[in-house]
Amino acid sequence: MHEASLVLAMCEEIKRLAQKERARKVISIVVSFGEFSGIEEEAFRFAFEALKKGLPLFEGARLFIEKVPAHFRCPWCGRSYRPLEGPNCPSCQVPGLPAGGGELEIKKVEFLLEEENV
């Protein structure tokens, strides 16, 4: 269950950004997980719901999870292909390089800003 560590790390990153932006609430968060990232979506949501109870900044925040499909890139011709097509490039038959699928990213955060100098 490393999802809890990841949720903590995510909240730390967002907290820092909130300070910089002078935000007082997080409205929504969009994260993206690669197909081979090893994240279990339900465990991540569960950990987020549990952790946000102790963090006023995140009260009522909504979490959206996007999935990124894995892909390999051919080191010769640059072609991008899915792991289902096999380990080797369909054109050149050379083993591909893992190019996408490990993502663990915060894509977007929507903040409610402090009420001042409007």
Interface contacts to other proteins, rule CB under 8 A: 1-2, 5-6, 9-10, 12-13, 17, 21, 23, 27, 31, 35-39, 70, 72, 83, 86-88, 95-98, 101-102, 104-113, 115, 118
Task: Kindly state the smallest distance separating residue 57's Cβ from other proteins, in Å.
Answer: 14
Name the 3-class secondary structure at 110: strand
Closer residue to other proteins (CB): 37 or 54: 37
Closest by CA position to 38, among listed 5, 60, 62, 61: 5
Closest by CA position to 4, among listed 55, 38, 54, 44: 44
Closer residue to other proteins (CB): 53 or 88: 88
Residues 6+ apart with CB under 8 A from 92: 74, 76, 77, 79
Task: Kindly state the smallest distance separating residue 53's Cβ from other proteins, in Å.
Answer: 20
